[in-house]
């Protein structure tokens, strides 16, 4: 457990909780602790889904500008590698991940939310990539994950202008997957995660890896990735249980063990 990032587990759902007052600024220590938390959640077989949460007030308002302002090229080249590695560890958690976004998710905070599979956003939340207003560009995946999610033109608009979007626009453009009152954000994300936690863990992992890997390549290679994952699941106990239950009881009644 880190000083500013901790993993809280309830049943089969883990919460990666950011807690660096006041705004969860993502300094080097927080970045390192995020990566460590992601690795912990990935390795824990008892965890079947996860929630990213910054608390009731704010998700994460971005990088620690005071820490970065004096850096030169060589220092930032090394720092940005560690930053990307930490966020990539979140994106590669082989389980469903839901970001519970309250308050602000700006800059690095927005990029962290992009690492989740889904985003539950508070009605009064604001999201965006305002790095251009500092004379830089997003450096933790914003220029890559954002256009893959909402399309290149919409992503360029947010990145080029640095403007914030409210929850309604975020939902309209696909940056948010659900919008709820602020006090319901975390319970809604937990409920979403619990729904996946009851599913076949190996099939969910294969589905996530097939989708994410397929988006990075051409269709033929993506289809081959899918085929191999599909065939591999026929060596799992969950596949046997799922198909046996379907034949005996109909769809949607199987119990899975994650093996």
Hey, which residues does 14 pair with through a beta bridge?
A: 9, 50
Q: Count H helices, E strands: the chain?
A: 11, 9
236, 259 Cβ separation under 8 angstroms: yes
- Residue 185 to residues 48, 55, 113, 162, Cα–Cα distance (Å): 20, 10, 14, 25
What pLDDT digit, counting tens, does each position of 148-205 carry?
999 999 999 999 999 999 999 999 999 999 999 999 999 999 999 999 999 999 999 9
What was the pLDDT predicted at 252? 84
**What does the pLDDT average to over 29-50?**
97
Q: Which residue has the higher pLDDT, 257 or 106?
A: 106
Q: How far is CA 10 from the centre of its chain?
A: 19
- Please check the confidence at residue 253 and state whether its pLDDT lies above 90: no
Q: Does pLDDT of 251 surpass 90?
A: no
CA–CA gap between residue 68 and residue 75 (Å, rounded): 9
The string of pLDDT tens digits covering residues 57-99 is: 999 988 888 888 889 999 999 999 999 999 999 999 999 999 9
pLDDT exceeds cutoff 80 at 1 = no
- The residue-averaged pLDDT of 225-251 equals 94
What phi-psi label fits residue 250: left (phi over 0), alpha (psi between -120 and 50 degrees) or beta? left
Contact 49, 95 (CB under 8 A): yes
24 vs 253 pLDDT, higher one? 24
Q: What band does 232 get if pLDDT is binned at 50, 70 and 90?
A: very high
Domain ranges of the chain: 5-197, 201-249
Domain 5-197 has CATH 3.90.226.10: yes
- Provide the annotated active-site residues: 111, 131
For residue 68, the model assigns a pLDDT of 87
Domain at 201-249, CATH from 1.10.10.10, 3.30.1370.10, 1.10.12.10, 3.40.50.300: 1.10.12.10
Classified as helix, coil or strand, 114 is: helix
As a whole number, the mean pLDDT across the chain is: 95
């Amino acid at each position: 457990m880190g000083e500013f990032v901790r993993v809280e587990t309830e049943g089969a759902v883990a919460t990666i909780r950011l807690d660096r007052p006041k705004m969860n600024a993502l300094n080097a220590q927080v970045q390192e602790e995020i990566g460590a938390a992601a690795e912990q959640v990935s390795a824990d077989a008892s965890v079947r889904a996860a929630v990213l949460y910054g608390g009731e007030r704010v998700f994460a308002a971005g990088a620690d500008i005071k820490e970065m302002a004096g850096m030169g090229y060589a220092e930032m080249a090394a720092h940005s590698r560690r930053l990307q590695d930490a966020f990539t560890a979140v994106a590669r958690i082989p389980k469903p991940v839901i970001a519970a976004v309250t308050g602000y998710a700006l800059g690095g905070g927005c990029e962290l939310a992009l690492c989740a599979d889904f985003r539950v956003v508070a009605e009064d939340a604001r999201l965006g990539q305002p790095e251009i207003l500092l004379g830089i560009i997003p450096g933790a995946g914003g220029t890559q994950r954002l256009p893959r999610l909402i399309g290149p033109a919409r992503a360029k608009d947010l990145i080029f202008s640095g403007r914030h979007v409210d929850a309604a626009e975020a939902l309209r453009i696909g940056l948010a997957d659900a919008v709820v009152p602020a006090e319901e954000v975390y319970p809604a994300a937990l409920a979403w995660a619990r729904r996946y936690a009851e599913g076949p863990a190996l099939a969910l992992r294969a589905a996530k890896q097939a989708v994410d890997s397929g988006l990075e390549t051409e269709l033929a290679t993506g289809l081959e990735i899918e085929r191999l994952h599909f065939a591999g699941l026929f060596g799992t106990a969950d596949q046997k249980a799922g198909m046996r239950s379907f034949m005996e009881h109909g769809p949607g009644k199987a119990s899975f063990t994650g093996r």
